[in-house]
Amino acid sequence: MIYGSRLRLRGPEQADLPLFVSWLNDPEVRHNLAANWPMSMAREERWFAELANRPVQEQPLVIEIQQAKEWTAIGNCGFHHIDWVHRNAEVGIMIGEKAHWNQGYGTEAMQLLQQIGFETLNLHRIYLRAYERNQAGLRAYEKAGFQLEGRQRHAQYDEGVYSDVLMMSILRPEYDALKGSSK
């Protein structure tokens, strides 16, 4: 387990799959994700079975919060495309439980991913892609120290509309400066 101040990250279990499928089948949750197709339990089970073939550092983490002394899953996050030569990786996050949107959990999960990425994996750059329409996500990424580094114009098509994909990143020295200023 990896603990933050209000949440923890843990590895996924088979029992989490129905929850993941319910999140991915909710059009409102899926709206800001690259997943634009409904998810079946069979497909999610295949994905879970294949996790063991991925590097452990690229396996997702479940985001949990404590409610009434019970830990409750509200989303997941993780690293993708880790490049060990250039020491960078992409991160992704999903808060699937809409009741917990806009409460700072995405920011805290991103900060924990940065801690893991920079202090454990020795990365130099962590980046992400976000849809321009995802204003809540963009605010969370900026709060976590990510900076806009580019825009892919009309790179995403969904519900009859093209939108820009924003590239954001944080570098190790920027993370160190943020961490030092919070002490």
CATH value at residue 97:
3.40.630.30
Predicted local distance difference test score (pLDDT) of residue 131: 93
* pLDDT at site 68: 85
In terms of Cα–Cα distance, which of 11, 14, 17 is closest to 60?
A: 11
50: left (phi over 0), alpha (psi -120 to 50) or beta: alpha
Closest listed residue to residue 163, CA positions, set 135, 117, 131: 131
- H helical segments located in the chain: 17-24, 27-30, 41-50, 105-115, 135-143, 172-181
pLDDT at 18 (0 to 100): 96
Structural domain boundaries, residue 91? 2-181
The tens place of each residue's pLDDT in the chain, 183 residues long, gives 899 999 999 999 999 999 999 999 999 998 888 877 889 999 999 999 999 899 999 999 999 999 888 999 999 999 999 999 999 999 999 999 999 999 999 999 999 999 999 999 999 999 999 999 898 899 999 999 999 999 999 999 888 889 999 999 999 999 999 988 765
What pLDDT, on a 0 to 100 scale, did the predictor assign at position 86? 98
Look at residue 182 in the predicted model and tell me its pLDDT. 64
Domain count, the chain: 1
pTM: 0.92
Residue of 174, 159, 94, 177 whose CA lies nearest to 128:
94
